[in-house]
Amino acid sequence: MELPFVFEKIGRWWGNNPAKRREEEIDILAISKQKALFGECKWTKVAVDMGVVNSLIEKSSILNYSQKYYAFFSRSGFTEDVIKFAKGSNNILLFELKDLIG
């Protein structure tokens, strides 16, 4: 699977969500000019569901990038809803453990 753009900076992000009045954390934020890739990593025995996807998309609204991509890394895979959602989107990447270790 190819990444959507070449990153200039990559790391974690913590910051304030003024709409929710709380601290937010994004596991991975990779940026280049007006493009950003937001990543969520889940190392649980439960498949990633739409709640996790929607949460990251909501958190990404705090940061102002014109092109946003989302990457989800999961030890236990993804629910059918998430797989269907990702297939219908051109900015969602799904990675399972087997994809990362070959």
- DSSP annotation of 41: E
Helices (H) and strands (E) in the chain, counts: 3, 5
Q: How many CB atoms lie under 10 A from the CB of residue 51? A: 10
Instruction: Band the pLDDT of 102: cuts 50, 70, 90.
Output: low
Res 1: pLDDT = 66
Q: Where are the domains of the chain?
A: 9-101
Angle at the Cα of 94 (from 92 to 98), degrees rounded to 5? 165
End-to-end alpha carbon distance in the chain:
12
pLDDT in tens, 34-54: 999 999 999 999 999 999 999
Q: Is 80 helix (H, G, I), strand (E, B) or coil?
A: helix
CATH architecture of the region 9-101: 3-Layer(aba) Sandwich (3.40)
